[in-house]
């Protein structure tokens, strides 16, 4: 069940206010800056997703490794991890602003973008836009660190990356048909932020109290 939470965090990251408005630019990049061809766009979008997935998985492995060394301090790890996620949630609700959550505005030269250069673009994205997607990425990493196993950390961030990657690939194929849906999301960002912030705070409280696994198990 915790993998489902991580997957949903990836999807919510995709519709975040600092990522979704940039989607048409990314789709243009995937198309190589010219006329959009489905085959080329899909190939480059897949490379892009694979690029950021590799970095996020590496982060998950690191979080799982650190967590394994801190197993004997599990209560402290739970409290600190939960507190960090709660801070992320308060930031989403606008109670206060964390300046670290600002994405990079640098644009890449993608005129001749291919699969491997798209993968490199995805790697750059994962580093440059980590502050922008940091709230839910951070939550996924905190969940990974609580598991105390490298493999658990890898799987946790893999499911997060799948949740973020699937909408990217679908949007690359269906961007014209999804315009109405994207416009609806943009008009309701306040509601989305409230829901996202509340979800993060709930997860943070459950993590801090050590009740997350029991709560997720009860939902199955």
pLDDT at 20: 66
pLDDT at 129: 64
SS (H, E, C) 172-202: HHHCCCCHHHHHHHHHCHHHHHHHHHHHHHH
Instruction: Give the tokens for residue 108.
Output: 């890449």
Radius of gyration of the chain (CA): 18
Instruction: Give the tokens for residue 157.
Output: 């961030």
Q: Distance between CA 145 and CA 64 in Å, rounded?
A: 5
Instruction: Report, as an integer, the average pLDDT of 123-143.
Output: 71
Read out DSSP for 51-84? HHHHHHHHHHHHHHHHHHHTGGGHHHHHHHHHHH
Higher pLDDT, 13 or 26: 13
pLDDT at 103: 47
Instruction: Report, as an integer, the average pLDDT of 135-164.
Output: 81
Q: Distance between CA 21 and CA 185 in Å, rounded?
A: 10
The model's pLDDT over 72-99, given as tens digits with 9 standing for 90+, comes to 677 777 788 788 778 877 877 878 765 5
Strand ranges in the chain using DSSP code E only, listed in sequence order: none
pLDDT at 161: 92
Nearest to 113, CA basis, from 190, 12, 14, 42: 42
Lowest mean pLDDT among 40-44, 100-104, 158-162: 100-104
The model's pLDDT over 15-69, given as tens digits with 9 standing for 90+, comes to 776 676 667 667 777 666 555 577 788 888 899 899 999 998 998 888 878 777 7
């Amino acid at each position: 069940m915790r993998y489902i939470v991580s997957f949903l965090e990836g999807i919510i990251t995709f519709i975040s206010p600092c990522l979704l408005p940039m989607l048409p630019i990314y789709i243009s990049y995937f198309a190589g800056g010219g006329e959009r061809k489905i085959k080329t766009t899909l190939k480059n979008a897949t490379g892009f997703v694979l690029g950021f997935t590799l970095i996020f998985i590496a982060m998950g492995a690191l979080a799982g490794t650190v967590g394994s060394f801190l197993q004997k301090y599990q209560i402290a790890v739970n409290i600190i991890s939960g507190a960090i996620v709660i801070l992320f949630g308060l930031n989403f609700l606008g109670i206060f602003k964390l300046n670290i959550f600002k994405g990079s505005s640098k644009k890449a030269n993608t005129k001749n973008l291919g699969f491997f250069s798209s993968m490199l673009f995805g790697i750059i994205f994962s580093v440059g836009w980590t502050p922008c997607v940091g709230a839910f990425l951070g939550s996924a990493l905190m969940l990974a660190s609580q598991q105390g196993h490298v493999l658990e950390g890898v799987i946790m961030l893999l499911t997060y990356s799948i949740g973020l990657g699937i909408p990217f690939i679908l949007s690359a194929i269906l961007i014209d048909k999804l315009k109405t849906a994207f416009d609806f999301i943009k008009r309701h960002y306040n509601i989305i932020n409230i829901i996202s912030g509340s979800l993060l705070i709930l997860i943070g409280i459950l993590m801090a109290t050590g009740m997350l696994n029991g709560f997720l198990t009860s939902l199955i």
